[in-house]
Amino acid sequence: MEWGGALGDGANCLAFFAAGDVKPSENVVRYSDSWLNMLGNDATYRYTYTVAPTVTTDPPTDEEDTSGIAHGTLDDDAGETCQCGFEYGETIAYGNTTPTEGKTTGQTFAQTITGLHGNTLYHVRAFAQSSIDIGYGADQVFTTDPEIDGLKEEQPEGEFTLVFAGDVNWDRIGQLLTIPNRVVKAVYFKTKRVGAPSGTITFTIRKTSDDSIIVSKVWGNAGDVELYANWIHVAWDTPIRINEQVRILMEWSGAFGDGANYLEWWAAGDVKPAETATRYYGTYNQPAWDATYIYSYRRPVPPGVPPGTQLLISE
């Protein structure tokens, strides 16, 4: 406490309360030109202070080639709900922050971190932000799965064409196959238009177990398909890991029964014994031949590849 009042006035002064040696590691101090330590005496004082939340960074899980899940526990919220999240990056400078969620003492939290590089070491730490202060957990590390990029699966050029819609009422057509733990990036089918068909073409990948859509993207209008045989494709906005039997499909909302305006779709004989073409109109039909298709993908590499190794095979 500092006072700019007149010195030497014994009738008009301030009294400052003190006590004996209550806290051995402390003592009263006074100043007039120089500091004087009054050993054996303690000032009567009080100060208020804040305590930062305390948080633990739990081990990350579910590491894939471009993602992982960070986990944390809020050990002490310092008396209020805290906003909890994670910092992450390729060094302990981190540089990236996840969204946050409100948590209180003892609660856990997690965030899926996406957009990572394959076969790369990442650092992550949890944080908890109160209205006054922020607390950080210790650093944890995880390594994303290694992947080989630039691969493709394909069925060779078709030997014949099928009418898609037109005078035959198929509104989905594609290939029934198993995709074994691959991150699918794009799907291609070979087709052409006859006349001036209309309606939306959508590419999908559906589970065979319940026909639910795993991923879907609109290609465009059937009238924009070339008049000669050509590949059309979509690239998924977010490549998707698939490890099950699925149908890769081109779905068309065009008018049925129009024999002058339709799409033709390329296929071949039974090229791949474990696969088959698939068509849908109310129910699926699996003929004894294969669709002409391509899908591009990434896949895991064998164990033992050092983190940071760049792996690429051109299509």
Question: What CATH number labels 149-300?
Answer: 2.60.120.820
Identify the helix (H) or strand (E) that includes residue 284: strand 284-285
Q: How far apart are the first and last CA of the chain?
A: 76
Average pLDDT, integer, range 125-154: 90
Judged by DSSP in three states, 82 sits in strand
> In this predicted model, which residue has the larger pLDDT, 154 or 124?
124
Rounded to whole angstroms, how far apart are CA atoms 20 and 183? 74
The distance of Cα 73 from the centroid of its chain, to the nearest Å, equals 21
List the single range of 36-45, 153-162, 233-242, 294-303 with lowest mean pLDDT. Answer: 153-162
> In this predicted model, which residue has the larger pLDDT, 33 or 140?
140
Q: Quick count: other Cβ atoms within 10 Å of Cβ 207?
A: 14
Rounded to whole angstroms, how far apart are CA atoms 290 and 216? 22
Q: Quick count: other Cβ atoms within 10 Å of Cβ 183?
A: 24
Predicted pLDDT at 315:
36
Judged by DSSP in three states, 222 sits in helix
Mean pLDDT score of the chain: 86
| Domain residue ranges in the chain | 54-145, 149-300
List the single range of 33-42, 123-132, 164-173, 188-197 with lowest mean pLDDT. Answer: 164-173
Q: What's the pLDDT band for 301 if we cut at 50, 70, 90?
A: low
Does 127 score more than 90 pLDDT? yes
pLDDT digits (tens, 9 = 90+) for 99-126: 999 999 999 999 999 988 878 899 999 9
> In this predicted model, which residue has the larger pLDDT, 106 or 17?
106
Residues with Cβ within 8 Å of residue 293, at least 6 apart in sequence: 154, 155, 174, 175, 187, 188, 189, 190, 248
Predicted pLDDT at 314:
40
Average pLDDT, integer, range 38-51: 78
Does 34 score more than 50 pLDDT? yes
How do strand 82-89 and strand 101-103 relate by DSSP bridges? antiparallel
pLDDT digits (tens, 9 = 90+) for 255-294: 666 778 888 888 888 888 889 999 888 899 888 888 899 9
Rounded to whole angstroms, how far apart are CA atoms 112 and 109? 11
54-145 sits in which CATH class?
mainly beta
Predicted pLDDT at 166:
47
